[in-house]
Structure 1
Amino acid sequence: MLDARVRPLIDPPLNRMGRGLAKLGLTADGVTLIGLAFGLLGALCIAVHLYGPALALILLSRLADGLDGAVARATHPSDFGGYLDIVSDFLFYGTIPLAFAIAAPEQNALAAGFLLTSFYVNGTSFLGFAILAEKRGIETDAQGEKSLYFSNGILEGTETIAFFVLICLLPQLFAPFAWIFGTLCFATAILRVIAARRIFKP
């Protein structure tokens, strides 16, 4: 919901940083994998109750996630780069609820399972929408220049990052926050399916 408003603010500095990284010889795919490594290390920190370091690593991961596209735009964007980026994002997003379940299984496991299911459904609705949009030749740059169609929703990248920051700051409240966020993920998926029925009708 907030991505379209945030992109005009963050894209100019990210693009400047991306050009600098490209001059240093870093590739977009390399930045994607560095961001994924930061995110996985953050999840590992959560699993062992190191929430402060986890938060720092998650923020570094999301910074890299913004920079990989900027590096690609400064060099040579590729379809594989976009594919690697979305696969890395989904892996990262999935490890955070899993890490909270490992950290406190009796308190968090059920809520984490619900949240992961909502991520799965929401991600499927997102990728399916992108495939049909590509098939129909529908394009958008509301969330910035992307290699695939990014449909909007109640929850997008900005809200997810804010949620991860919140649960790292207040890990004892993971379960109630996960139930709320997961419910909103399901609502986002349902609304996207309704939009797809309207847009992609025969």
Structure 2
Amino acid sequence: MIDQYLRRKLDQPLARCAALIDIPAITPDRITGVGLVLGLGSAVSAGLQWWWVALVLWLLSRLADGLDGPLARRRRARTPTAGDAGAGGFFDITADFIVYGSTVVGVAVGATSAYGAPWWPFLLVLLAYYINGTVFLAFSSIAERSGRTLDDGRSLSFLGGLAEGAETVVVHALWLVFSAFAWQIAVVWAVVVAVSSVQRIIAGYRALR
């Protein structure tokens, strides 16, 4: 819901950070890989009920996710043959899906073990994530083939909605900070993501008609 606003506000700070780390040993794909490892570490830490460790790893993972794109754009602007944007975008979105799904499972394992929380709210979140992912990946593929892409600087055509990247970062952080209430947060979040799914289905269908 606020991703476009945040992107405008964070573009310059992230570009400056990308300039600081723009050395040959650091590549966008390596940053994506680091973000993936950190995200998986957050999931494992949550499963072990190391909530604050999981929170730090989660936030560092999302910081890495925010830096790979600006660094890739900086390299391409300087040297157009520096890298394949398609391959990098594919790796980035794949890593995001792995991290999002695994962190939900990690929190579910930790919360059920520590507090006897039910599993079903986290299963609903995963179902909502599955539907959202299906919608925007299908839309991006068909939009590309039909010449109706939505270009906001990212590798795929993203349909906006109530729940986007920024809200996901916040909610995943909240259930690590307030782990005793993780399943209640998951219920609310599943509803929000489900509403976003409906929004994207309607918007995508209308855009492709």
Question: Which of the five TM-score ranges fits, normalised by the shorter chain?
Answer: over 0.9
SS at match of 1:10: helix
User: Structure 1 127/81 Cα, relative in aligned 2: closer, same or farther at 3 Å?
Assistant: same
SS at match of 2:159: coil
Aligned residues with identical type, % of pairs:
34
Say which of 149, 165, 174 aligns to 2:173: 165
Please state if 1:133 is matched with 2:152.
no
Q: Retained in 1: the 8 A contact 2:111–2:182?
A: no
Task: Give the Å deviation of 1:91.
Answer: 0.3
SS at match of 1:37: helix
Query: Which position in structure 1 is the counterpart of 2:195?
Result: 187
User: Structure 1 141/5 Cα, relative in aligned 2: closer, same or farther at 3 Å?
Assistant: farther
Give the whole-Å Cα distance in 1 for the aligned partners of 2:111 and 2:182: 10
Give the whole-Å Cα distance in 1 for the aligned partners of 2:118 and 2:151: 37
Task: Give the Å deviation of 1:154.
Answer: 0.6
Q: Retained in 2: the 8 A contact 1:41–1:54?
A: yes
One-letter amino acid of the structure 2 residue matched with residue 28 of structure 1: P
In the TM superposition, what are the counterparts of 1:61-100 in structure 2 within 5 Å?
61-75=61-75, 76-100=83-107
One-letter amino acid of the structure 2 residue matched with residue 132 of structure 1: I
SS at match of 1:22: coil
When the two structures are aligned, how many residues end up with a matched partner? 199
SS at match of 1:94: helix
**Stretch moving more, 12-21 or 78-87:** 12-21
User: Structure 1 74/108 Cα, relative in aligned 2: closer, same or farther at 3 Å?
Assistant: farther
Query: Which position in structure 1 is the counterpart of 2:23?
Result: 23
Give deviations 1:71-130, integer Å, cap 9, x for gaps: 111213520100000000000000111012211334141111111111111111111111
**Stretch moving more, 163-172 or 103-112:** 103-112
Task: Give the Å deviation of 1:24.
Answer: 4.7
One-letter amino acid of the structure 1 residue matched with residue 109 of structure 2: I
Please state if 1:14 is matched with 2:14.
yes
One-letter amino acid of the structure 2 residue matched with residue 59 of structure 1: L
One-letter amino acid of the structure 2 residue matched with residue 66 of structure 1: G
Task: Give the Å deviation of 1:177.
Answer: 0.9
Task: Give the Å deviation of 1:198.
Answer: 1.4
For normalisation by structure 1, the TM-score amounts to 0.93
Task: Give the Å deviation of 1:56.
Answer: 0.7
RMSD over aligned Cα, in angstroms? 1.4
Q: Retained in 2: the 8 A contact 1:153–1:192?
A: yes
Gaps of 5+ in 2: 76-82
**Stretch moving more, 34-43 or 69-78:** 69-78
Query: Which position in structure 1 is the counterpart of 2:132?
Result: 122
SS at match of 2:22: helix
Give the whole-Å Cα distance in 1 for the aligned partners of 2:151 and 2:191: 27
One-letter amino acid of the structure 2 residue matched with residue 86 of structure 1: I
Query: Which position in structure 1 is the counterpart of 2:109?
Result: 102
Give deviations 1:149-181, integer Å, cap 9, x for gaps: 111111000000010111111011111111111
